[in-house]
Amino acid sequence: MGRGAAALLVLGLVLGAGCPKKIGPRYTHLPQVRDGALRIIAFDVGQADATLVLYGGKSLLIDCGSPLKQPLAASQRIPPRLDELLPARHLDYLLITHYHQDHFGAPGRRKNAHEPSGVFSLIERDGLTIDTVVDRGFYSVTAKGASQLSYERSVQEWIASGVVGKRREVRAGDRLELGPGLDVRIVAAAANGYLDRMKALVPTWVEENPPSENDYSIAAKLVLGDFEMLVAGDLSGYNVLRQFGPKRSSYNDIESQIAGDVGAVEVYRANHHGSENSSNPCFTEVLHPLVTVFSSGDNRYGHPAVEVVKRLKSYGAVYITGGADPSVYSEVAAWIVGDDIDIIVAKDGRQFWVNGAAHQSQSDAEEAARPGARATCRAPDPADLKPEAFPKRDDSAND
C-alpha cells in the first residue's frame, strides 16, 4: 500500500470513509458518520456534477455526469472514491436531476467506439448496483431530447437485468428516506407544472422555443436540525431566449417559483455550475447561504460567472471544485479547491465543516434576521409573460 492509500485508510477509519486530498488537517476532531453525522461530498469531476450523501447507513448519489472535454473524468474518478466511501459498490438511491450529459453521462456507442460515461459507466462497466433510481419523469412539453431517450431505454434494461431495483418518479413534496433525523424533500421536479401552463397559454411559441432541459431539474433540500442544503441541478433563474445557429430554446425562471419553498440555507450547491442564467439576485437573497459550492471545471461557458460568485461570496464562504472558464479564471482562482469538497454535519445539525473549516448552523429566527434576508420572490405567472420580451442571446458557443 502506498503512502497516499495509507493516508486515505487512516482518514477512513476516523470518518467511516475516505477523504479527498485537499481537506487539510486530519479529521480526528470531527463527528463520525457511523455515529450519526451527515456527510456530503461534491466530487471534482471537471465541468460536470456528482454529489454523494451518506447518512444513517444509507447512500444517495445526486448525479454523476461526464464533461464534454474529458468525458471519462467521472468514470475514472468515481469508482475508486466509492470503494473508499462505501462498504460495496452499491447505492440506496441515485437521483438524476435532469437529462444532460454533464449530470448523468452518456451510453457507449459501438459505431464510433465511444465508451459509456457517467452513470452509464458506473452501472454497465464498473459494477455499481442501485436500489432505487430517482428521476423527474419522462414527460416533456415538447419533443424529447436524445439524452432523455437514451436514459428511458437504459433504465428499463438496468431494471430487467437486476442491477437496479426500481425506478421512482418524484414530484414536489415527495421525500427520500435516508434515516431518522434527515429530511430529504423534493422542492421542484419538471418545473412543478410551470412549463405546462406556459404551453397551454402560448403553445406555438413554446414549440418554437422549447424550454431547456435545465428547467426540468429536480431540486432537493436536505435538512438535519438547523442545517439546510439545496441541490437543484441546473435550474434557471431568468427568462432568456437562446439561439444556437438555426435552433432556438428558452431558459425560464424556475428559481423564483420555488424560492419561498426553499427558504434560507446553510449550504447552496450553485445551480448550473454558477451560470449567469441562474442564481438570480432575489433567489440568492432568499437562500442567503453561509457556504456556496460551485461544481465546475475547465470550460468555455463562462462558468462560474464572476458576478454570481461575488454575490454569493458576500453572504459567506465560496468553494469551487475543479476550475473555471479561462476568461474568468483569474477573478475566481482564489476559491478554486482543485479537488472534492467535503461537508460534514454534526448529528444535531448545529455545526458543520467544509473542507475542515468550521461553520455554525443558524436557526430559522437567526436566518430571518440576516442582513438583506427575504422570504420569497415574486414568481412570474405564465399568464403575465410576454414571450416577445424575452432577452435574446446567441449561445452558439455557450451552454
Per-residue pLDDT tens over the stretch 290-320: 999 999 999 999 999 999 999 999 999 999 9
For 226-241, what is each residue's pLDDT tens digit? 999 999 999 999 999 9
Q: What is the mean pLDDT of residues 201-219?
A: 95
> What whole-number distance in Å separates Cα of residue 190 and Cα of residue 283?
19
Q: Is the pLDDT of residue 390 over 90?
A: no
Query: Does 134 map to a domain?
Result: yes
Instruction: Give pLDDT, residue 112.
Output: 53
Q: Which of 98-112, 271-285, 293-307 shows the lowest mean pLDDT across its residues? A: 98-112
Local structure of residue 191 (DSSP, 8 states)? G
8 Å CB contact between 183 and 175: yes
Whose CA is closest to 259, among 279, 239, 275?
279
Instruction: Give pLDDT, residue 395.
Output: 62
Q: Is the pLDDT of residue 38 over 70?
A: yes
For the beta carbon of residue 3, count every other beta carbon within 10 angstroms.
7
- CATH assignment of the domain containing 376: 3.60.15.10
Q: What is the mean pLDDT of residues 377-382?
A: 84
Instruction: Give pLDDT, residue 201.
Output: 92
> What whole-number distance in Å separates Cα of residue 321 and Cα of residue 332?
11
8 Å CB contact between 341 and 321: yes
Query: Does 357 map to a domain?
Result: yes
> What whole-number distance in Å separates Cα of residue 151 and Cα of residue 133?
11
Specify the number of domains making up the chain: 1
> What whole-number distance in Å separates Cα of residue 250 and Cα of residue 195?
11
Q: What is the DSSP string of 127-184?
A: --EEEEEEES-S--SSPPPHHHHHHHHHHHHHHHHTSEEEEEE--TT-EE---TTEEE
Q: Measured in whole angstroms, how far is the alpha carbon of residue 394 from the centre of its chain?
A: 26
Q: What does residue 240 show for φ and ψ, rounded to 5 degrees?
A: -140, 135
Q: What is the mean pLDDT of residues 167-177?
A: 98
> What whole-number distance in Å separates Cα of residue 397 and Cα of residue 399?
7
What pTM, to 2 d.p., does this model score? Answer: 0.90
Q: Is the pLDDT of residue 60 over 80?
A: yes
For the beta carbon of residue 150, count every other beta carbon within 10 angstroms.
18
Query: Does 13 map to a domain?
Result: no
Instruction: Give pLDDT, residue 90.
Output: 97
> What whole-number distance in Å separates Cα of residue 111 and Cα of residue 127?
24
Q: Which domain does 101 fall in, by range?
A: 31-394
8 Å CB contact between 186 and 172: yes
Instruction: Give pLDDT, residue 11.
Output: 37
Query: Does 15 map to a domain?
Result: no
- Longest pairwise C-alpha distance within the chain: 64
Instruction: Give pLDDT, residue 16.
Output: 38
Instruction: Give pLDDT, residue 25.
Output: 40
CA distances from 381 to 130, 201, 256, 283, 319 (A): 39, 11, 11, 16, 34
Query: Does 72 map to a domain?
Result: yes
Question: Which residue is associated with the grid cell 458543520?
Answer: 352
What the block records as the C-alpha cell of 345 is 454535519
What the block records as the C-alpha cell of 340 is 472534492
Model confidence band, residue 280 (pLDDT cutoffs 50, 70, 90): very high
> What whole-number distance in Å separates Cα of residue 152 and Cα of residue 165?
15
> What whole-number distance in Å separates Cα of residue 280 and Cα of residue 166?
36
> What whole-number distance in Å separates Cα of residue 47 and Cα of residue 168?
27
Question: Which residue is associated with the grid cell 461575488?
Answer: 310
8 Å CB contact between 74 and 115: no
Instruction: Give pLDDT, residue 21.
Output: 39
Query: Does 319 map to a domain?
Result: yes
Query: Does 399 map to a domain?
Result: no
Q: Whole-angstrom distance between the N-terminal and C-terminal Cα of the chain?
A: 42
Residues of the chain above pLDDT 90, percent: 78
Which residues lie closer than 8 Å to 378 by C-beta, 6 or more apart?
Answer: 256, 282
Q: Is the pLDDT of residue 216 over 80?
A: yes
Query: Does 20 map to a domain?
Result: no
Higher pLDDT, 96 or 382: 96
Q: What is the mean pLDDT of residues 139-160?
A: 96
Q: Is the pLDDT of residue 110 over 90?
A: no
Q: Is the pLDDT of residue 326 over 70?
A: yes
Q: Measured in whole angstroms, how far is the alpha carbon of residue 188 from the centre of its chain?
A: 13
